[in-house]
Structure 1
Amino acid sequence: MEAPLASAAGHSPSNDVYQSPLASRYASKEMAHLFSYSVSRCKIKMRSHTWRRLWLNLAIAEKELGLPISDEAIEEMKANLYLDDEQFALAAKEEKKRRHDVMAHVHTFGHMAPKAAGIIHLGATSCYVTDNADLIFLREGLRLLLEKLAVVISRLSAFAAQHRDLPTLGFTHFQPAQPTTVGKRATLWIQELLWDLRNMARAKEDIGFRGVKGTTGTQASFLALFDGDHDKVEALDKRVTELLGFKYAYPVTSQTYSRKIDIDVLAPLASFGATAHKIATDIRLLANLKEIEEPFEKDQIGSSAMAYKRNPMRSERVCSLSRHLMVLHQNALMTSSVQWFERTLDDSANRRVTLPEAFLTADIVLTTLQNITEGLVVYPKVIARRLSQELPFMATENVIMAIVKAGGDRQEAHEKIRVYSHQAGRVVKEEGGENDLFDRIRNDSYFAPILPQLDKLLDPTTFVGRAPEQVDGFLKEWVEPALAPWKDALAKSKAVELNV
């Protein structure tokens, strides 16, 4: 696990200042850095650097379209895209004086690039940098999540292939049902993750750019700069969008980009949270059955009191954080619904918390899932024993059909099986014994004609249908094509170790 990051107050981590565990305990350094905040109280530079990139590209486009901006101004801006501690101290001083974080950074940037000081932020409103930067971060955050999700799918697919034909008891209502295989059950998890991969990719590709729209979205300030030339204002919007690497800008905006975009981005993250919660819950239930367990370190302690315990701590963490991830989407819905007219500022504080936390939480859940799927432990003998306890009941229809083929009477056979099944059930439920249904059948001369077939009738592999073939087909026809765009990320991926 990476070392804890600096706290939001700019202090080194310590016990006397609250730190969000999302950043200080769990998140990857890449995701925590991406959403590091820009204000002068924080000495992590991602957002402020992005603001400077936006101001630089605005100036470049304005110069290309004929505004009197010198080459020296552009070069000074290029040379000062990254902030050091001295510049953050200056920004803090400016913000205290001006009570405005964006203008504090405008003046700080101008101090470092004096030849550009007069044209930085020319024609723009604060949302030119704040909202466009957010869109950049949302797009990059989805890219990071997509790469991690592809790795999790790959790891889980290897697990499914390895156990494609291992029979296991299926459950409906968490009651014994028709057998399946361990690998087939894993494909149910993978399929939902594939949908999450699709949904996140769609959201990423759909993100546009706010562009240069002015204070209420009318572009009035830019129209004034270009002496009423509408074509140049449109060209400016397109050029800045292009310089920042976006395919398109939203055709109309208010002062902000529509907060409905946040809904569209957080929706697939919340949906992924539901997937992750389901997978981790299944693993927790299987751990209780002692059939499958998550990784457990040699020196790991499951309980401070009960030394024998192997608590599924990783899966519990996934469930815990997934619930948080699912509810964050509700914040985006409510915020979007109350954006009066061209804008209201009651979105700001909420989004400062909601957007980073959604990405940090999804990032943590994915990292934990990767660790789990890389070290799942399967206990085939426990699985076989549980299956053997239930399989005789499930095989009774096959027994009846076999005795009928051997010349027996279907109704007579059914009655005998009914009586023996209830007797065996009492042994299991009331006496705590083993399921002796087939012993009772063997001891009844009525079933003598099919005794040589009984062992075959109880073979678990004859009860799983096409589960192994379904695993093979699913991995080849669905998983492999879905992961093809992520082959570079998969090639670079390494096993994850967690600070449990």
Structure 2
Amino acid sequence: MSSNDSYSSPLSSRYASKEMAQLFSLRTRFSTWRKLWYTLAVAEKELGIEAITDEAIQQLKDNLVVTDEDIEAASKQEAIVRHDVMSHVHVYGLKAPAAAGIIHLGATSCYVTDNADLIFLRDGLDLLIPKLVNVIDRLSKFALQYKDLPVLGWTHFQPAQLTTVGKRATLWIQELLWDLRNLQRARNDLGLRGVKGTTGTQGSFLSLFHGDHDKVEELDQRVVEMLGFDYAYPCTGQTYSRKIDVDVLATLASLGVSAHKFATDIRLLANLKEIEEPFEKSQIGSSAMAYKRNPMRSERVCSLARHLQSTFQDATSTASVQWFERTLDDSAIRRVSIPSAYLTADIVLSTMLNIVSGLVVYPKVIERRINSELPFMATENIIMAMVERGGDRQECHEQIRVLSHQAASVVKEQGGDNDLIERIKATEYFAPVKNDLDALLNPQTFVGRAPQQTEKFVKVTVANALKGLEKHITSESVQLQV
């Protein structure tokens, strides 16, 4: 049967990076199992298990990478014994006959499955963190570039006081910095299940070392060190606590929240024609409407970010129903939800990186929208200027109120431009400030400390957050999958 005749997840076949798809591949999974068996054998031999020979260790080392033939053979064996781990023990033993009798010595299946999963959780975060660093870095450069460009602010998606394009970008960056903090914390908090035996008591290893508790602890620590972790969880059942999955997937789901918010804002700005995501020269926006420039990248981010947020529920639901030392109802869902969360986070970050690397700003459109709303916002400034020249605030307020309603009627009912300033200039009452109106309407005077806030945020807050992560920053262009 052709591969085109069976379902293939678009996460791996259409969107995800090669590196992330490879991390969760069958070859990586089963090769990691072999690495764990090899590590266990080496540590057991170092601690005096004489049954493990140098020849056995060498054969295990020479066959760490699982071949296609190995995977096929293990699949056939699993159909007979109905146990994936023992199927791979059998196939590994065929490749390393001198070690066949000592592979998996003292271990339970979760020694390889759970420790491998923790390795994947860690290595997956090591792939995601550099991408997030680059999103933050490029968006920060964008913020600095446009820190002084006034833009109409929106609250409730209704016109509000002015901000700047750069200051708005800091709102996106700040949330991404929290995500970076969360990803780093989750990554650095990860431990290994280690060598704990069938129910976490290390009973089998205590027997293996004839009651020597110190050697059992040494074995656990040695395996942890050889696999590049700082520590093993001190207490486990048969599995590591599925609360660890909750912790990691909560972090990824939170990243999905930030990504969705960012991409939604870009979609709204695209409709306003103020800012657009990159649009390739030959890209087609609509099969029927040739003029369209749909924000398809941002829409993809929103679509997948929703899925990313939902994977968290799989983790919480699973962790909450683990009975005593373990049940097996965690297995199938974790095979789906954990790779799905990582692949989705990878795609979301790659797409965001593509977007922020080529955002297009349209200052003239932004200026026109400001000019349509600024007259209303400037009324308080005009009132204050009149009072400074001896005017009565209440009388001035009433004059402007009447003119504002007239101007609003022109905009809303007649579809015309906002002519409030022209009406003010034509009203004799406002003659004392007529020559000051242009200065009173300068958009730069309405943005408060937005430019200064943006510059300090990028040069201090962002710089501190990225300290030590500069090695990840690149200027490479980001090509998306289809």
Q: TM-score, normalised by structure 2?
A: 0.98
Cα deviation digits, residues 25-44 of structure 1 (max 9, x gap): 0000100000113xxxxxxx
Please state how far the C-alpha of 1:298 moved relative to its aligned partner. 1.3
Could you tell me which residue of structure 1 aligns to residue 248 of structure 2?
Answer: 265
Could you tell me which residue of structure 2 aligns to residue 368 of structure 1?
Answer: 351
Match of 1:481 among 440, 464, 469: 464
Taking the TM superposition and a 5 Å limit, the aligned residue runs for 1:19-38 are 19-37=8-26
Between the aligned partners of 2:275 and 2:48, the Cα distance in structure 1 is 67
Greater displacement, 169-178 / 107-116: 107-116
Q: Are 2:338 and 1:349 aligned? A: no
Cα RMSD for the two superposed structures: 1.1
Between the aligned partners of 1:125 and 1:360, the Cα distance in structure 2 is 29
Please state how far the C-alpha of 1:303 moved relative to its aligned partner. 1.1
Cα deviation digits, residues 366-407 of structure 1 (max 9, x gap): 000001111111100000000101000000010011111112
Match of 1:246 among 211, 220, 229: 229
Between the aligned partners of 2:2 and 2:281, the Cα distance in structure 1 is 32
Between the aligned partners of 2:241 and 2:413, the Cα distance in structure 1 is 64
Q: Are 2:459 and 1:497 aligned? A: no
Between the aligned partners of 2:2 and 2:214, the Cα distance in structure 1 is 51
Cα deviation digits, residues 278-312 of structure 1 (max 9, x gap): 00000111111111111111111111111111111
Taking the TM superposition and a 5 Å limit, the aligned residue runs for 1:35-184 are 35-37=24-26, 45-68=27-50, 69-184=52-167
Cα deviation digits, residues 165-200 of structure 1 (max 9, x gap): 100000000000000000000000000000000001
Could you tell me which residue of structure 1 aligns to residue 298 of structure 2?
Answer: 315
Amino acid at match of 1:30: E
SS at match of 1:485: coil
Amino acid at match of 1:56: Y
SS at match of 2:373: helix
Could you tell me which residue of structure 2 aligns to residue 5 of structure 1?
Answer: none
Please state how far the C-alpha of 1:86 moved relative to its aligned partner. 2.6
Structure 2: tracts of 5 or more residues without a match: none
Cα deviation digits, residues 190-235 of structure 1 (max 9, x gap): 0000000000110001111000000111111001000011111111
Please state how far the C-alpha of 1:445 moved relative to its aligned partner. 1.8
Match of 2:200 among 217, 235, 241: 217
Between the aligned partners of 2:90 and 2:165, the Cα distance in structure 1 is 62
Between the aligned partners of 1:183 and 1:299, the Cα distance in structure 2 is 30
Q: Are 2:284 and 1:295 aligned? A: no
Amino acid at match of 1:90: A
Could you tell me which residue of structure 1 aligns to residue 369 of structure 2?
Answer: 386
Amino acid at match of 1:276: A
Between the aligned partners of 1:189 and 1:220, the Cα distance in structure 2 is 51
Between the aligned partners of 2:67 and 2:412, the Cα distance in structure 1 is 71
Taking the TM superposition and a 5 Å limit, the aligned residue runs for 1:451-462 are 451-462=434-445
Q: Are 2:390 and 1:401 aligned? A: no
Amino acid at match of 1:67: I
Between the aligned partners of 1:481 and 1:352, the Cα distance in structure 2 is 37
Please state how far the C-alpha of 1:449 moved relative to its aligned partner. 1.6
Please state how far the C-alpha of 1:73 moved relative to its aligned partner. 1.2
Greater displacement, 18-27 / 83-92: 83-92
Amino acid at match of 1:162: Q
Amino acid at match of 2:146: H
Q: Which has the bigger relative contact order, CA under 8 A and spacing at least 6?
A: 2
Amino acid at match of 2:34: R
Greater displacement, 272-281 / 93-102: 93-102
Could you tell me which residue of structure 2 aligns to residue 3 of structure 1?
Answer: none
Amino acid at match of 2:13: S
Between the aligned partners of 1:90 and 1:189, the Cα distance in structure 2 is 50
Between the aligned partners of 2:284 and 2:8, the Cα distance in structure 1 is 26
Amino acid at match of 1:54: L
Greater displacement, 105-114 / 162-171: 105-114
Could you tell me which residue of structure 1 aligns to residue 170 of structure 2?
Answer: 187
Between the aligned partners of 2:190 and 2:334, the Cα distance in structure 1 is 17
Greater displacement, 469-478 / 64-73: 64-73
Structure 1: tracts of 5 or more residues without a match: 1-10, 38-44
Between the aligned partners of 1:144 and 1:462, the Cα distance in structure 2 is 44
Amino acid at match of 1:364: I
Please state how far the C-alpha of 1:12 moved relative to its aligned partner. 6.7
Amino acid at match of 1:95: E
Amino acid at match of 1:31: M
Could you tell me which residue of structure 2 aligns to residue 284 of structure 1?
Answer: 267
Please state how far the C-alpha of 1:499 moved relative to its aligned partner. 3.4
Between the aligned partners of 1:341 and 1:411, the Cα distance in structure 2 is 74
Match of 2:309 among 319, 326, 329: 326
Tell me how many residue pairs correspond in the alignment.
481
Between the aligned partners of 2:70 and 2:424, the Cα distance in structure 1 is 86
Cα deviation digits, residues 109-156 of structure 1 (max 9, x gap): 111111111111000000000000000000000111111100111111
Between the aligned partners of 1:12 and 1:354, the Cα distance in structure 2 is 26
